[in-house]
Amino acid sequence: MKYHGLTIDNTFAEAFNMKATRIIVTADNKKWAKTACDSFTGFATSVIACGIEAGIEKQIKPSETPDGRPGFAILLFSMSRSQLEKQLETRVGQCLLTCPTTAVFSGLDSEDMIPLGKNLRYFGDGFQISKKITNKRFWRIPVMDGEFLCEESTGRIPAIGGGNFLVLSKNRASCLAACETAINSIKNLQNVITPFPGGVVRSGSKVGSKYKSLIASTNDAFCPTLKSLTNSNLKDSVNCVMEIVINGLTANDISIAMKECITSISKSKIKKDIVSISAGNYGGKLGQHNFYLTKILK
């Protein structure tokens, strides 16, 4: 398929059912709110080793935050309900409680609520104070710069992780530029995140390995240096492949983000060096959701 002159492979991205939550982090100024969020989302690229996949969803204006201060929304995804709960509590305690001037609030309401400050309040050593506003409970935990305000719980909802597409390019510079263009096009899009560093992953993986201890290994079919050594999916003109992974609260959210990303590449000057856009899948045998590129773009 040709899309604005860009070749789109007839394939699909395979994605998985996950659980997600959203939190809102605020601080006295944008710098410290962002610092807290960067710390919180560090080492949260893949559930394979990180427990969760997390990223900053969007910046929030002071007029839209619960306490009238600058803030950011973070989305967290996990395959495991218990792991999502564990990682949320650990990261709030280690990365938000410790960061100067921050506060944290629930960003989702649902019937399935998980602890946010419910257990973290014990750090207050008995000096913590509970306050209930309407049907929500907040905890004021004394710390050395004043108080850490933390909502008691946040909602956990069904979500989807692993929506993706691959950029197959003639060279690394154009491949990275195309990915940067794509990521920039969805930086203000709600309900989605791109959890890998800068939104881009170069080490796409396949299931299994020749080494029995590994559950995943390099996706050799898309490694340019292995074209003559493996059953490659790459044309001779492809010398670099990078992947953008998108997690979203719904399938529609992911489809919109994928279309916006690919459209932005197709309208950029860099597309002349892009051989094609493809996607990663496991033959439809593992994931519960298949995102067909041609259907999304139509």
| Comparison of pLDDT for 286 and 98, the residue scoring more | 98
Cα atoms in the 13 Å half-sphere on the side-chain side of 213: 0
Ranges of H-type helices in 11-80 = 30-41
Return the biggest CA–CA distance within the chain: 67
pLDDT bin (cut points 50, 70, 90) of residue 148 is very high
pTM, to two decimals? 0.95
Domains of the chain: which residue ranges?
Answer: 2-14+160-297, 18-157
Could you tell me if 243 and 166 are in contact, meaning their C-beta atoms sit under 8 angstroms apart? yes
CATH numeric code, 2-14+160-297: 3.30.70.520
Tell me the average pLDDT of the chain: 97
CATH topology identical between 2-14+160-297 and 18-157: yes
With the CA atoms of 55, 190, 117 and 25 taken in that order, what torsion angle do they form, in degrees rounded to the nearest 10?
A: 70
pLDDT in tens, 36-63: 999 999 999 999 899 999 999 999 999 9
Q: In whole angstroms, what is the distance from residue 226 CA to residue 237 CA?
A: 13
pLDDT in tens, 225-255: 999 999 999 999 999 999 999 999 999 999 9
| CATH class of the domain at 18-157 | alpha beta
Considering only CA atoms, which of 76, 101, 79, 108 is closest in space to residue 90?
Answer: 76
Give the whole-number percent of the chain exceeding pLDDT 90: 96
Q: In whole angstroms, what is the distance from residue 183 CA to residue 189 CA?
A: 10
Q: Look at residue 255 in the predicted model and tell me its pLDDT.
A: 98
